[in-house]
């Protein structure tokens, strides 16, 4: 289906816990060429209400998807505040989407992951993606593809996302949904990685040679 960067950003939110996080994220997006910055969504949950065991990040994802379902949005784009866009990310995404949009049956699109896959096979030899399209743009997510810091959830995925979350016997991470439905796709390159003061989860990034796609850590 047709999909553009303007579509991507139209119903977009970034999860933060304070204004400083929002300022950092906004600056990164502006430097990457984005003109429309996602709206701020403050996710704060008192742990005492949940036995001190709540995963606030996953709960915020849940609330945003539920909000999108309530408002009957055709999709929602969710960023975590530490999503770090590649150099000239907006233009690169526009070019990427212009070659065929997104899969028609997509329930969710993942725009960045912790395995930093490219050409859909990780360095350990296990395929993170299957059914990769002829242009090698998207593949369906197989188990063990981690990352929920830059995702688009579509209307046809809301009910499954919420049901999957509620049906689990224990708290799950937001990216577990990718494993619970056949219609979650990831791009075969990461347009966003995760960065706070430094690169997060460097041991899980199998393709460190492609960090040159991104601004040097700490410069934006």
Query: Which 3 state secondary structure label does DSSP give 121?
Result: strand
Between CA 220 and CA 89 the distance in angstroms is 14
> pLDDT at position 143, please?
78
> pLDDT at position 122, please?
55
Listed in sequence order, the DSSP H helices in 47-109 are: 56-71, 89-98
| pLDDT values of the chain reduced to their tens digit, one per residue, 220 residues | 999 999 999 999 999 989 999 999 999 999 999 999 999 999 877 665 555 444 578 889 999 999 999 999 999 999 999 999 999 999 999 999 999 999 999 999 999 998 888 766 655 556 788 888 888 899 999 877 889 999 999 999 999 999 988 888 877 788 887 877 879 999 999 999 999 888 988 888 878 888 999 999 888 8
> pLDDT at position 103, please?
96
Between CA 54 and CA 114 the distance in angstroms is 22
> pLDDT at position 55, please?
53
């Amino acid at each position: 289906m047709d999909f553009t960067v303007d579509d991507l950003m139209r119903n977009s939110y970034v999860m933060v816990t304070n204004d400083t996080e929002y300022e950092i994220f906004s600056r990164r997006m502006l430097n990457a060429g984005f003109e429309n910055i996602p709206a701020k969504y403050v996710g704060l949950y008192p742990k005492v209400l949940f036995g001190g065991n709540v995963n606030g990040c996953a709960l915020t994802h849940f609330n945003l998807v539920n909000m999108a379902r309530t408002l009957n949005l055709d999709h929602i784009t969710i960023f975590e505040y530490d999503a770090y866009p590649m150099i000239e990310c907006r233009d690169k995404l526009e070019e990427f989407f212009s070659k065929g949009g997104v899969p028609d049956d997509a329930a969710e699109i993942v725009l960045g992951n912790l395995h930093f896959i490219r050409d859909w096979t990780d360095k350990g030899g296990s395929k993170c993606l299957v059914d990769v399209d002829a242009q090698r743009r998207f593949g369906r997510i197989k188990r063990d593809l981690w990352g929920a810091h830059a995702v688009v959830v579509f209307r046809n995925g809301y009910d499954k996302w919420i049901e999957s979350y509620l049906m689990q016997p224990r708290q799950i991470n937001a990216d577990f949904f990718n494993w619970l439905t056949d219609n979650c796709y990831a791009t075969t390159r990461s347009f966003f990685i995760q960065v706070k003061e430094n690169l997060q989860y460097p041991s899980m990034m199998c393709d460190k040679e492609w960090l040159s796609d991104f601004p040097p850590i700490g410069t934006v």
